[in-house]
Structure 1
Amino acid sequence: MSRTELRPLSADRQVDFQRVVDYAFDAAAGPPSYDGPESTPDLLGTQLGLFADGTLRTVCTHYELTVSHRGEWVPMAGLAGLATLPEHRREGYVRDLLSASLERWRNEFAFVALWPFDYGYYEQFGWAMGCTLMEYTCPPETLAFARDSPGQLERLTPDDWKRLQHVVETYGMEYDFTVQRDESWWRRRIFDTGDRYVYGIERDGQFHGYVGYSIDDESRMKVLYNAFTDHEAFRGLLGLLSNHDSQVETVTLYRPAESSLLDMVPDPKAVDCEVRPGMMVRVVSVIDALETVPYPEEATGTLTFAVTDETAAWNNGTFELTVSDGTGVCRRVDDATPDLRVDIETLAQLVVGYHAVPEARKLAGLETDDESATRLARWLPPRTVSPIDNF
């Protein structure tokens, strides 16, 4: 195969990017003309193309994000829109693109996330499931118990984005991997979609929650976005959804797998719930990841990790992590005897908090003795990972 190169696409190649993405993700719509605004790609990220012999083979979008992680805000890369035209598939271009992307992110981002079309496909390149989400579906009247919640409901416009910023940032301190949005993200992703309604709930002159939802032709409401600062605000939002009982047949919303909606409704049997796989995560650099993690203040000591990574060679080896005062310092020590052996996928799940240490030993790729496992469990307790932004 020819030598490949990954580079940002210039303005005159944006339509080429959109052709590949449309064919991969919306071929049923037929080939668009690309003469109007629909040919403009998602400019929130950076569009890149993998070229071989000067010909565009594969495309993707890179995002530079800031997300909540164990009580702090940290940088994270995002990957989306990875697509190859059928005449160039199964020739190794996706592997080349992912390897080149990891090189671009190295020394800048400790983690990268994506929302996959197929989980097994990305596992072969070192990504792992980073969360699960609960999908709840019920008739709107099932939520009528929340109609008496305090607060004033208000339909919002794109110009209201600043009034919601603190809602998401407060929410992110409890639910990890919440994206810290800027104005462009609010406008392009939350408001300016053409089919989404956004409502907020206000108390004492300040918004404490919001929902973003759409209603389809079959009278089904889908709540893609919801965030709140406290339980009363969540109840108020549920009350708003219940008020659509004369308009829609069902309401579907997504919450963390640990959520308590079944405990809140008077008739749990009226709610269909299904656990759904969420985003996938990957460690870009073992050293950066283990130094980015905010550790408990009382954590102290040293552990040595033997890590395997079949895609990013710089992660293969043995690493020593020393933790004190909530901070980790990591270095490569390939001649040391490891306390733990772990593959790159399991390491990502431990670092983000999706797997607790006992689960990682039982279900994933963590091998260690009980003493080291106990220490690691104190350093990396599980978290509620519940991203509310799909990219």
Structure 2
Amino acid sequence: MENKKENHTYLEINGDYRMRELDKSDLEQFNALLQYAFQVTSYELLQTGWEQEEIKYAKRPILEEAYVLGWFYKEKLASMIVVYSMKVNIHDNIMDMGGITGVATYPEYTGKGLIHSLMKRVVNYMHEQEFPISFLYPYSIPFYRKMGWEIVSDKLTFTVKDTQLPKARPVTGMVERVSLDSEDYHNVHSYFALQHHGALIRDNLAWDEYWRWENDDMIAAVYYNKDHKPLGYVVYYIANEIFHIKEMVYLNIEANYGLWNYISAHFSMITQVQGDNYSGEPMAYLFEDSEITETISPYIMARIIDVHDFLLEYPYQIQPEDFKIHFRVIDELAPWNAGDFMVSWHDGETICEQVEDNQSINVVELSINTLTTMLMGYKRPTYLYDHEKIQTEYYMLTWLERLIPVEKPYFSDYF
């Protein structure tokens, strides 16, 4: 149902509730709901160096550059959701991605299905915008699983004592501290993202989100080789004798050694190093003293928005001629994804077509959640089969293991 009132177009009307897209006139209500839902007070922001006007306008770019949808109750914003237009590396293939953020509802409006209806709307929106996949940082994994999202990457948090820091290794380059908007620093991330499956391709908006609400003590240090070519960086701050790593990226082992040399050079100032590792692989093996503390937690969830387009764009490890595989997908939120998608290859090209759901050979039946986490490489086909997430003939696991690249996703961003 569509209705216009006060120059606003309502996508749905339910009693006193009205759904519409937000614009700049909604900025104050938008900020108020964000701060309430995510428990960020103006006082806390002021304590970290934000001015009152900066707080008010910090999220203005969202309303200008993103799709923001909300439910209003008697003209008061009750619930909302935000979609960013982004790009992500999927096994060396750069795909458009819808980044979900700002999912929030005032407590007095919970339990009325507002978020569920907003999620359904934005899935349709992303389908119309031809985003093959969507990412989000979950506040409730079970909630998002019900709507088709699944875990695709982990965050490994580590603690290294000062006595466990690696000994200096000889390198020909050196580390230099740079500004947070340094071109060299940004370029290293761009090269890194193009080489690593799952990484976000950061544009200006993504960089703004990367730094939003961070304190002013953050430092970026870049490793340069002997030809002054930037090959890695570490973003960090030091507080209470702890070296906190926000992110550490390197393009080769020389840069890795150089950055750890730099960190270890703070030995007299710190008692430990704490940081986050997004590679999906524990770090302990790489330390001479491997008794470091590492904890793992799920980080980013993803959802294939358009199965046909994703399967068509997906970079399979092999392209077997005279072979067809049927992905029988279950997706309750996106009806265009439900059905049998037959994938085959001819002359180096992938062919994907939706066919009658009555095939009996080479069929792999699975939910949209499982299809997403499997194709993203977070969980392997055999693991998913063993845990009854996939229904197929056992011989098909060999094909799936060969088709799907092995690399785990790297995703270090937050929005």
Unaligned runs of 5+ in 2: 1-12
Give the Cα–Cα distance (whole angstroms) in 1 for the partners of residues 382 and 40 of structure 2.
Answer: 44
Give the Cα–Cα distance (whole angstroms) in 1 for the partners of residues 43 and 69 of structure 2.
Answer: 23
Offset of 1:257 from its aligned partner? Answer: 5.5
Which residue of structure 1 aligns with residue 221 of structure 2? 199
2:244 to 212, 215, 222: 222
Which deviations, in whole Å up to 9, do the C-alpha atoms of 1:322-365 show, x marking residues without a partner?
Answer: 23455432222134315111001000011111111101212352
Which residue of structure 2 aligns with residue 123 of structure 1? 145
Which deviations, in whole Å up to 9, do the C-alpha atoms of 1:249-304 show, x marking residues without a partner?
Answer: 321222245536322222111x1011221200101111111112112354442111
In 2 relative to 1, CA 5–140 (structure 1 residues): closer, same or farther, beyond 3 Å? farther
Q: Please report the TM-score for the alignment, with normalisation by the length of structure 1.
A: 0.90
Matched, 1:49 2:69: yes
Offset of 1:14 from its aligned partner? Answer: 1.3
Three-state SS of the structure 2 residue aligned to 1:281 is strand
2:53 to 30, 36, 46: 36
Alignment of 1:1-391 (within 5 A): 2=14, 7-26=20-39, 36-42=53-59, 43=61, 46=66, 48-52=68-72, 54-107=75-128, 108-146=130-168, 148-161=170-183, 163-186=184-207, 189-190=210-211, 193=214, 194-203=216-225, 204-216=227-239, 218-256=240-278, 258-259=280-281, 261-269=283-291, 271-300=292-321, 301-324=323-346, 327-337=349-359, 339-363=363-387, 365-391=389-415
Superposed CA RMSD: 2.7
Give the Cα–Cα distance (whole angstroms) in 2 for the partners of residues 25 and 68 of structure 1.
Answer: 29
Q: Count the aligned residue pairs.
A: 388
Paired residue type of 2:70 = L
Give the Cα–Cα distance (whole angstroms) in 1 for the partners of residues 347 and 258 of structure 2.
Answer: 40
For the 8 Å contact 2:324–2:342, the answer to whether it is kept is yes
Paired residue type of 1:302 = K
Query: Which deviates further from its counterpart, 287-296 or 197-206?
Result: 287-296
In 2 relative to 1, CA 30–170 (structure 1 residues): closer, same or farther, beyond 3 Å? closer
Three-state SS of the structure 1 residue aligned to 2:182 is helix
Q: Which has the larger radius of gyration?
A: 2
For the 8 Å contact 2:318–2:402, the answer to whether it is kept is no
Which deviations, in whole Å up to 9, do the C-alpha atoms of 1:177-215 show, x marking residues without a partner?
Answer: 111123454466359942311110001121000111133
Which deviations, in whole Å up to 9, do the C-alpha atoms of 1:82-137 show, x marking residues without a partner?
Answer: 11111111110110111011011004111101111221221111110001232211
Paired residue type of 2:247 = Y
In 2 relative to 1, CA 388–256 (structure 1 residues): closer, same or farther, beyond 3 Å? closer
Three-state SS of the structure 2 residue aligned to 1:101 is helix
Give the Cα–Cα distance (whole angstroms) in 1 for the partners of residues 312 and 198 of structure 2.
Answer: 17
In 2 relative to 1, CA 146–7 (structure 1 residues): closer, same or farther, beyond 3 Å? farther
Give the Cα–Cα distance (whole angstroms) in 1 for the partners of residues 280 and 32 of structure 2.
Answer: 40
Offset of 1:2 from its aligned partner? Answer: 1.2
Offset of 1:319 from its aligned partner? Answer: 1.7
Query: Which deviates further from its counterpart, 60-69 or 325-334?
Result: 325-334
Paired residue type of 2:53 = G
For the 8 Å contact 1:67–1:75, the answer to whether it is kept is yes
Which residue of structure 1 aligns with residue 5 of structure 2? none
In 2 relative to 1, CA 102–184 (structure 1 residues): closer, same or farther, beyond 3 Å? closer
In 2 relative to 1, CA 192–132 (structure 1 residues): closer, same or farther, beyond 3 Å? closer
Give the Cα–Cα distance (whole angstroms) in 2 for the partners of residues 94 and 335 of structure 1.
Answer: 32
For the 8 Å contact 2:71–2:77, the answer to whether it is kept is yes
Quote the sequence identity (%): 22
For the 8 Å contact 2:198–2:409, the answer to whether it is kept is yes
Offset of 1:152 from its aligned partner? Answer: 1.3
Give the Cα–Cα distance (whole angstroms) in 2 for the partners of residues 334 and 84 of structure 1.
Answer: 41
For the 8 Å contact 1:67–1:179, the answer to whether it is kept is yes
For the 8 Å contact 2:180–2:219, the answer to whether it is kept is no
